[in-house]
């Protein structure tokens, strides 16, 4: 993205301004950026929805949520200064006539050529009409050295066909370099640290391959149930909600080759290569389940077969990872909130010490990359118990973000992602071919689950780690799930 002339105004235009995402994530993130002096100047933040607000009413409404989210009173000089840049414009996203009025309002604030970042914080069914109307009004064209970018929230499509159709619509109005498909997991500092951990340290890359790694586990478990999202979730399910985006993105960061440089194209090229190398997933290499009581959740249709838990086994067919299984799992109502990547290394070829577990195997070394809530890294290895002859015990070498960098060291993911979108850095956003490749991997599993009812839909009690079938799934391979980060709290 070319640099605009000095003094050029920037407008952040948020469609869906009265929604939960705007109130709890976007505005607190923008306020955080304002307090740290990282927002462009001059700046306008314009919220759009059908709810009738005056500018002052909208600002007061947002202050209430920012106070709750940031756990500090926003009725202060910093907020008041920030709020002067926040405006509200009532409009209907599906009404083409409203876009001429919106453009006129924006121009009155910008007072000349300006950059614009459009943020679609709306239901997915509104993506297409908003994009088309922006195009019809000429509001997507880059001109006078100023850029026009658009941020699209997940879900990006419901399947491969709908994702391709959505890409086609957006590409008709915006060029690919203007499009920022957001996955907030990539904005988490601990997810980004996977790359720095691998490529900024010389000790890991030599063992980060099939010669030393036995298998990889990627886990995203949620303590919460579907709650108020039941209406959406019952049509999506765990594969669309978590696997097609978050888990495959984490897999790509773990498995990708080092890019030639840390720029958007080089980084995303390597991620696409990894996804392209994944072997088609067989239904027998999957587990699906739902938690007890899901059918009684408000908004869930009668006789729903939606899965709230899933587990998959994948193989990356390239030289680095040939034959190494990647186990992915995610579920709701599991009793724990945990996102982690666990690398289990191979056992030594020969052990002269008495280091056998109860099943007669060597105790493996594991590396746990903890994304939330215990953000950090843990390496488990064996040490001799003092005073014993050959007894060993598993011990940890650990790193915790908050201990090393302070309690306020981890900003919300949207802080980083919004700043990157404003600066034209697409490294942590998903490209169109990456989106479509992820759907190509997940869609056959979706078809087997939804059309062929394969495998059988299991049930698990709320507050557990998932169905017994998931444990049996790994035990068939002589392995077991790790509670990698849970073990270190």
3-state secondary structure of 50: coil
CA of 118: how far to CAs of 109, 136, 201, 432, in Å? 15, 15, 38, 18
CB atoms within 10 A of CB 388: 10
CA of 249: how far to CAs of 41, 182, 429, 434, 438, in Å? 33, 11, 10, 9, 9
228 is catalytic: no
Q: Are 286 and 308 in contact (CB under 8 A)?
A: no
b/e map of 116-135 (b: 16 or more CB within 10 Å)? bbbbbbbebeebebbbbbbb
Task: Quote the CA–CA distance of 246 and 242 in Å, as a whole number.
Answer: 5
| Nearest residue to 271 via CA among 164, 175, 195, 162 | 195
Which member of 246, 350, 389, 482 is catalytic?
246
Q: How many Å is the Cα radius of gyration of the chain?
A: 24
CA of 133: how far to CAs of 9, 22, 92, 181, 182, in Å? 23, 21, 11, 19, 21
Q: Are 227 and 462 in contact (CB under 8 A)?
A: no
CB neighbour class for 175 (10 Å; exposed up to 12, middle 13-18, buried from 19): exposed
Task: Quote the CA–CA distance of 360 and 347 in Å, as a whole number.
Answer: 12
Task: Quote the CA–CA distance of 372 and 484 in Å, as a whole number.
Answer: 12
Among all residues, which ones are annotated catalytic?
246
């Amino acid at each position: 993205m070319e640099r605009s002339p000095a003094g050029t105004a920037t407008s952040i235009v948020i469609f869906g301004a009265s929604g939960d995402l705007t109130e709890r994530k976007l505005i607190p993130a923008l306020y955080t950026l304002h307090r740290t002096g990282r927002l462009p100047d001059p700046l306008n933040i314009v919220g759009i929805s059908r709810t009738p607000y005056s500018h002052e009413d909208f600002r007061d409404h947002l202050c209430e949520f920012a106070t709750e989210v940031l756990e500090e009173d926003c009725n202060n000089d910093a907020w008041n200064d920030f709020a002067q840049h926040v405006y509200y414009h009532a409009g209907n996203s599906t009404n083409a006539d409203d876009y001429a009025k919106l453009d006129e309002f924006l121009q009155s604030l910008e007072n000349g050529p300006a950059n614009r970042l459009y943020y679609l914080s709306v239901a997915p069914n509104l993506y297409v009409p908003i994009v088309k109307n922006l195009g019809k009004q000429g509001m997507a064209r880059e001109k006078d050295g100023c850029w026009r970018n658009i941020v699209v929230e997940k879900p990006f499509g419901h399947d491969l066909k709908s994702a391709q159709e959505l890409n086609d619509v957006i590409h008709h109005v915006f060029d690919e370099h203007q499009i920022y498909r957001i996955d907030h997991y990539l904005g988490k500092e601990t997810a980004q640290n996977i790359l720095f951990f691998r490529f900024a340290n010389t000790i890991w890359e030599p063992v980060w391959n099939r010669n030393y790694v036995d298998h990889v586990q990627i886990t995203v478990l949620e303590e919460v149930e579907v709650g108020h999202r039941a209406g959406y979730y019952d049509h999506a399910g765990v594969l669309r909600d978590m696997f097609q985006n978050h888990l495959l993105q984490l897999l790509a960061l773990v498995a990708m080759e080092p890019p030639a440089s840390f720029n958007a194209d080089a980084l995303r090229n390597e991620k696409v290569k990894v996804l392209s190398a994944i072997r088609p997933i067989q239904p027998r290499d999957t587990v699906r389940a739902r938690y007890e009581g899901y059918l009684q959740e408000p908004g869930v249709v009668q006789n729903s077969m939606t899965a709230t838990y899933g587990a998959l086994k994948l193989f990356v067919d390239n030289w680095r990872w040939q034959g190494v299984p990647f186990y992915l799992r995610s579920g709701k109502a599991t009793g724990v909130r945990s996102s982690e990547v666990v690398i289990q290394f191979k056992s030594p070829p020969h052990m002269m010490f008495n280091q056998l577990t109860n099943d007669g195997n060597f105790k493996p070394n594991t590396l746990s990359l903890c994304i939330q809530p215990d953000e950090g890294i843990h390496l488990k290895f064996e040490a001799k118990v003092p005073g014993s002859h050959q007894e060993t015990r598993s011990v940890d070498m650990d790193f915790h973000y908050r201990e090393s960098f302070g309690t306020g060291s981890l900003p919300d993911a949207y802080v980083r992602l919004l700043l990157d979108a404003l600066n034209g850095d697409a490294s942590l956003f998903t490209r169109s071919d990456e989106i479509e490749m992820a759907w190509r991997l997940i869609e056959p599993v979706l078809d087997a689950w939804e059309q062929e009812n394969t495998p059988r839909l299991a049930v698990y009690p709320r507050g557990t780690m998932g169905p017994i079938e998931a444990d049996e799934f790994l035990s068939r391979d002589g392995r077991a799930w790790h509670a990698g980060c849970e073990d270190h709290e």
